[in-house]
Chains A and B, each alone.
Chain A
């Protein structure tokens, strides 16, 4: 079940794994705010301040998950009660 809680996805236009993650989130019905660092300079600045270089990064209410890791994402979404199974 989708909710109004904040999920942010840091992504890049040219990142194929980012697109796979977007498809995964959509299939799970998760609403998220997409921050494309390729087009959003402030977004890129915020992303680099997180201390990461690799994309994608998913921020589930402050819990960050690096890369396309369905198990970790699922767990974070459950913990934050964003997806109930």
Chain B
């Protein structure tokens, strides 16, 4: 049985879940590993601290962090980018500077489900609308 604590996101069966989208991480992570979420592309670091498994989002230089995540997500879903990409990446970086996370620049609320790639996008809005709300991800 795992001991739960603040900052931890691993359930009693030992499964590990992404700190952004809450989906189960596909691999069977070991301590001190970095695992990229197969749903949203977020990098998660897993560590074992004082007898507690802790999973955290890997924090990197902002542009690298959001660019890597967006590119990984696009790869996972076979989406493409267009000329808006650089402007949107810069807007996401400014959102992080102002509000503490990469909130979608085309959403009003600063809540976890609006962190890029936002829940609406993870739930398949690109498939139905051809692009995500802000125009970062486009259907092939």
Contact = CB atoms under 8 A, between A and B. Distances in A.
Interface residues of A, number: 16
Nearest to A52: B108
B135 A37 contact: no
Contact of A47 (B87, B106, B108): B108
B107 A54 contact: yes
Interface string A19-37: 0000000000000000001
Contacts of A54: 106-108, 120, 133
A70 interface: no
B80 to A, nearest CB: 17
A16 B109 CA distance: 17
A56 to B, nearest CB: 8
14 contacts: A14-B94, A16-B105, A16-B106, A16-B134, A16-B135, A17-B106, A17-B133, A17-B135, A52-B108, A53-B109, A53-B114, A54-B106, A54-B108, A54-B120
Contacts of B95: 14
Interface of B: 84, 87-88, 91, 94-95, 105-109, 114, 120, 133-135
A76 to B, nearest CB: 19
B104 to A, nearest CB: 8
Given A52-B108, A54-B133, 11 more contacts: A14-B94, A15-B134, A16-B88, A16-B105, A16-B135, A17-B135, A47-B108, A54-B106, A55-B106, A55-B107, A67-B133
A55 B91 contact: no
B108 A48 contact: yes
Contacts of B133: 17, 54, 67
A29 B94 CA distance: 31
A14 B90 CA distance: 9
A77 interface: no
